Amino acid sequence: MAATAPSCYKDLKVMSHSFKSIALVGRPADLRVAECMLSLAAHFREQGLRALVDPGVTLAFPPDSVVPCPERSFAERADLIIAIGGDGTLLYAARLVAEHSVPLLGINRGRLGFLTDISPNSMLEDVDNVLAGRYSEDPRSVLAARLEKSGGGSLRALALNDVVVNKWETGRTMDFETSINGRFVNSHGGDGMVIATATGSTAYALSCGGPIVEPDLDVWVMAPISPHTLSDRPIVVRAGSMIQLRMSDRFESRGQVTCDGSALGELEQGDDLYVEAADAQVTLLHPPGYDYYRLLRSKLHWGRGAYGGKNDGRADRIDDGRAGGNDGGRAGRTED
């Protein structure tokens, strides 16, 4: 029996979706981003398509070349959202559509970008392939964070990459406990904890020594940040688990909870942070040629050979500039 293709290779299918209204998300103040946005808007107009942009950036476009639309309404009026910038831009766009079925396409104008996998050099060709239905769909799971305050009330947010608890005071460790599905796991001392999806495994969790996880795998990573105890190591848990984090009652410490880099609130003594699977998911679109391992080689400089920095010949054939990505370290959430 012939072996099936690995899951990290997205099978290309001709889709029947019709993209008539396309929202553009980016910061035109960055001239590189503005160049791409202007080019896309003109390209769509030639094809009789509507380009939606937030009213706050319409002045960057020629008159009548785009349709003003508040970003909060993109998910209701757009058939497709294109994020131009770094992974931070795509994560922002993901928050706009996380509870809707609008797919996302990322064009890389950031530093690394593990999520924005289209190169500006092939932008129009790749976008045209997507508009023609030649693309693969890549559904990604989303985390739901709930911060329960001891004084009453709760704060909620979604995260495509990760939910992070960071210490508040510089120079002091944070002491907290974790449980999974009601079972005590560990008492931690350090700078905090990253709870990442497979998508977010190449972001902050990677800089904490966490593993790289194929996006197709239904698992999460719990990675301690600068743990005081060397035995406190990252662990991989089943997606859909209920993860609880609580400050230790024995020490005075507090932390800040962020979801994909956006602040959710402070975690203080008596508060509980719960992280579980969200009902929502985010669907990324990839043009022909998408390969997750090529993305890793391109962004992490794998396959370059062992002598004098020269590659082994294979990298020349496969690292063609199409790979994008989700920044290793925090840049994936903070840039753009």
- Residue 87 designated active-site: yes
Q: What is the CATH number of domain 142-280?
A: 2.60.200.30
Q: Per-residue pLDDT averaged across 271-289, rounded?
A: 95
Cα distance between residue 183 and residue 12, in whole Å? 42
Residue 48 has pLDDT above 90, yes or no: yes
Q: Which residue has the higher pLDDT, 313 or 91?
A: 91
Predicted pLDDT of residue 171: 73
pLDDT value, residue 2? 43
Q: Which pLDDT belongs to residue 4?
A: 46
Angstrom distance (rounded) from CA 97 to CA 78: 10
Per domain, the residue ranges of the chain are 13-140+282-326, 142-280
Closest by alpha carbon to 329, among 227, 241, 232, 203? 203
The CATH number of the domain covering residues in 13-140+282-326: 3.40.50.10330
pLDDT of residue 257: 98
Mean pLDDT of the chain: 86
How are beta strands 192-197 and 219-225 bridged, if at all? Answer: antiparallel
* CA atoms of 212 and 111, how far apart (whole Å): 19
Write the pLDDT tens digit of every residue in 109-143.
977 778 988 999 999 999 999 999 999 999 999 99
Q: Which of 11, 30, 64, 87 is catalytic?
A: 87
pTM here? Answer: 0.85
Residue 144 binned pLDDT confidence (cut-offs 50, 70, 90): very high
Q: 307: pLDDT confidence band, cut at 50, 70 and 90?
A: low
pLDDT single digits (tens) 151-188: 889 999 999 999 999 998 777 889 999 999 999 999 99
Q: Specify the higher pLDDT residue, 332 or 32.
A: 32
User: Identical fold at 13-140+282-326 and 142-280?
Assistant: no
Average confidence (pLDDT) over 188-201: 96
Per DSSP (E only), the strands in the chain are 13-14, 21-25, 50-53, 67-68, 80-85, 104-108, 134-148, 154-159, 162-167, 174-180, 183-190, 192-197, 219-225, 235-238, 243-247, 255-259, 262-267, 272-286
pLDDT greater at residue 18 or residue 140:
140
For residue 306, pLDDT beyond 60: no
Residue 14's pLDDT band, with cuts at 50, 70 and 90, is low
* Mean pLDDT value of segment 197-205: 96
Distance in angstroms (rounded) separating the CA atoms of residues 99 and 104: 13
Q: Which of 8-22, 157-171, 194-208 has the highest mean pLDDT?
A: 194-208
* pLDDT for residue 13 is more than 80: no
Please report the pLDDT score of residue 12 as a whole number.
55
Say if residues 202 and 267 touch (Cβ distance below 8 Å): no
Mean pLDDT (whole number) for 199-227: 96
Q: 137 CB contacts (<8 Å, ≥6 apart)? A: 15, 103, 283, 284, 285
What pLDDT, in 10s, does the model give residues 65-91?
A: 999 999 999 999 999 999 999 999 999
